[in-house]
Structure 1
Amino acid sequence: MKKLVLMGMVFLASWQLQAQGSSQKGQWVSLFNGKDLKGWKQLNGKAKYEVKDGAIVGTTVLNEPNSFLATEKDYQDFILELEFKVDSNMNSGIQFRSESRPDYQNGKVHGYQMEIDPSRRAWSGGIYDEGRRGWLYTLDYNEGAKKAFHNGEWNHYRIECIGNTVRTYVNGIAAAYLIDSLPTRGFIALQVHSIGKPEEAGRQIKWRNIRIQTANLKPRPSSTIFVVNLLPNQLSEQEKANGVRLLWDGQTTKGWRGAYKTQFPEKGWKIEDGMLRVMKSGGGESVNGGDIVTEELFGAFELQFDFRLTPGANSGVKYFVTEKENNAGSAIGLEYQVLDDDQHPDAKLGAVGNRTMASLYDLIPSLKPWMSRKPIGEWNKGMIRVYPDNRIEHYLNGCKVVEYQRGTPIFYALVARSKYAGWKDFGMAEKGRILLQDHGDAVDFRSIKVRAL
């Protein structure tokens, strides 16, 4: 027994020397001493925070807003690692580069959050902008990472914040990759989410082994996961490595022309401040400048685009456009609907909402979660994925809202009851052009990117 105790003391002394050496080299520094909450302060709600068995324990309290145990120090560039274990019916998150200021919503905590989500949605590791912009990177973008979180067990989180790049890892698996246009610094905080039902009181989350690096930062090797880049009309080196390219250069008409035309429209469209703008004409579809299409044809692809609506506006992004039908109005193709659902009457036409924002127009309604649609006048992020096996997905601000497969009996049945029933082989071209629609309303586009799948 004495021999075992002696060996333990030698091991502990060796570990302490190594830790001191790491700290002196600017490596890992502990943010939690395992005994008390020294170096931390509580903000906003009054959930219970205490130290038990070498861990910080957060407990939900009824009718309290989101609570945060925040570091007294602020951080900008860093690598953070910690472990946590959460109640399977509880939502939480790790705040970073966050603030609480009297001049912002009376001190409401706002800033980045690495999501802790044990629900069936499985967005643990996603990036949420608490109290500000909402979801920036959901795990619908990165389905493979949804399995990284282990419910009911201790999980390991890693956050890399270097410059304008944020990367997250769940149990060693790359979860989110964000490049942001908003440079920030701020505190790190442990969230206990608000609850509204008595039976939800007393749920707990535990955190331990919280450590940070702030110097000589060495991020993990780049992964090939999807990159959300919020810098308009720009490509990061990782996006380029992933095969993403700009479909519109942000400055010229290169690569685009009018539908059924050989040149870009002389009126109805304007390139201004990095935006490709449909000008308001007050008329119907394609009566001003008309639709524009890519000169290039696409089969299996991933298309990203930002769009911004004016009140009551209507537009669309079409794909597999062939121009063979020579339609008098807008060219024919599968359409990602771009619409002001609240003010434009088309939202109430069709069937079961299949003409609302992000729907497969007149065929399949988009299943929009409450947080996926931005207010009119703000930028939305749209995405269309077409796989080689003809599976197709629509995304709106990171949420997968439509999923179908063209060429199936269900697809043909949907077409047969739609306004496209009379068009032979509708939506079934092997390749087609991508189209931005002129519907006579003011709509802006930017950050149009494509990747072959």
Structure 2
Amino acid sequence: MLLITVLENTTNPVFISNVQDALVVAISGVENPAERNRAILSAYTSKKALREKLLGVIPRVGGDDALKLVTSEFNTQKGAAKDMAFKALTQWKDQSVSNQLYAIALGTVTKYKADAFTAYVSKIGKSKLNPDQKLLQLRKIMILAATPDQKKQVIQALKGNRTFLTLVFVAKYLDEPAIGSDAAWVAMDIAMPPSGSKEGMFGEEVRVILNKCIGVIAGNDSQYARENMRNWLAAMPKDPGFVSMFNGKDLTGWKGLVENPIARAKMTEEELAQKQAAVDLTVPESWAVKDGMIVFNGKGNNLCSVKDYGDFEMWVDWRITKNGDSGIYLRGTPQVQIWDTSRLDAGAQVGSGGLYNNSKNQSKPSRLADNAIGDWNTFYIKMIGERVTVVLNGVTVVDNVIMENYWDRAIPIFPSGAIELQAHGTDLGFRDIYVHEIKAENIGLSVQEQADGFVSLFNGKNLDGWVGNKVDYCADNGELLVEPTGKGGSGNLYTEKEYADFAFRFEFQLTPGANNGIGIRAPLEGDAAYAGMEIQVLDNTAPMYANLQKYQYHGSVYGVIPARREFLKPVGEWNEEEIWIQGTRIRVTLNGTVIVDGDIAEASKNGTIDHNDHPGLKRTSGHIGFLGHGSVLRFRNVRVKTL
């Protein structure tokens, strides 16, 4: 490469810098990674006098071969050559150098340790790693922090890393005088709603942390920050949020395993109590607490939560050793898999996180997302009904998959049960175990909707809370599926409760030609479009509806107030809608655009535009319903707020 020759013959520092810049551009433009660094690495190996100049280029280009070469130089050279190689590592273009920097920071050569620490934190902090991985990598280096300044570097690198476990980790440093205020600023940034959003973190753990932040935060604008935190504390939902299952000190809240859920159900209370007492005595032989972790020594049985859980989401960090094998049992049922991915004989190369014991539904994770053996991993697990989602190290590896009942495959998984840490003959560790129990009335709600008083009307699992046609309407994959069984079949599904003034929000997915409706203030008998009111749900684009009356199109108060058109998304995509009614005022908002804003009394005072009698317009309360007209479509995230 001509530029390498030019660089070799250039002595002016300014010109050297210019040629180095040109080399970076030229090399970065080579598409084939295998060819990209060949010339420059060859020159580095063969032209000793050129090495210092090339070390101003290599870190900016990066690449596995280049990193391997510079790492070797650092490990084998001495004096100035070693220093140049180290400088190149600290200037590397991305976080791919993090393992090398960590090893140096962990090493015994004092000369390089502090700068390696700082470079590591900088690379990870500025990286595009997902938030879960970024936290894991920064927690790893925090163990090596020898000064308050180094701890501060790690804390500040986590600013904006909005995960619950990041908040918990940062909050651990609120009590350290030298860095408490810095930790408070970062914790506040993580927990509070971002600018332009109302979606902040909530729960008793968050409340405790923010109150502590109020007490220690200092510096410019700290008074303003305190006021913001107090405002959020007053506004946040009352839901307890994520609750710790492990206090970091002992096994309070945990117990030994007595057989399996079906066997336990057949025992008398006295028999179960006796067996439980016996196995609890054996727990210390297998499980212990060390350095804030639950550790298993490889001998014994599962560790179970004392409390049973139904619908929930949880965070848990885990770490295994060579040939490790474990898992997380949900509702007493195996399992979200954990294993050493090098165990090819067991099929572990697919990765952890799969629903290992499924036989009909997906059992393997969608991709490999494990960290190296000996490093920590993070699970986020969500279970609603029989469906499970697993996120491993920030990567979704199981997405809303049915978890089968391993103990009796003829029946669905149990509605509630213990969370278990599986013992499988190898030592392992768990830390930061938090669970949030999800109430049926909160399913599908945003944080702001919970704070505003919305409640969920559909739990995604069954039709509890609904009356009417439960044949053509059913829960399917967390959604409300309308699938008429008869020719031209219809039928309505209504809320058990009646509502007067309210905001009703839902999402819907149309099929070609779909026709349905939302009944409001409706009785259970009669035609809801007249005996109550119907807000039309319709595929406006279908040719069969080209010549409808204007009051028959989507969003219209049927026969009374026509809606603006052209705001539906293409058929097959999900739409969002809100129906707001207070007294005689009604407003319909579709995908963020108001398509109806009127007064039903005013609109009908001289008769309705369809010239039909609508006695339901005078009703002040009634049921909310889905009004079937023989079409297949889906609804989800159905929620209501009483005004």
- What is the TM-score normalised by the length of structure 2? 0.33
Q: Between Structure 1 and Structure 2, whose CA radius of gyration is higher?
A: 2
Larger helix fraction of residues: 2
- What is the TM-score normalised by the length of structure 1? 0.45
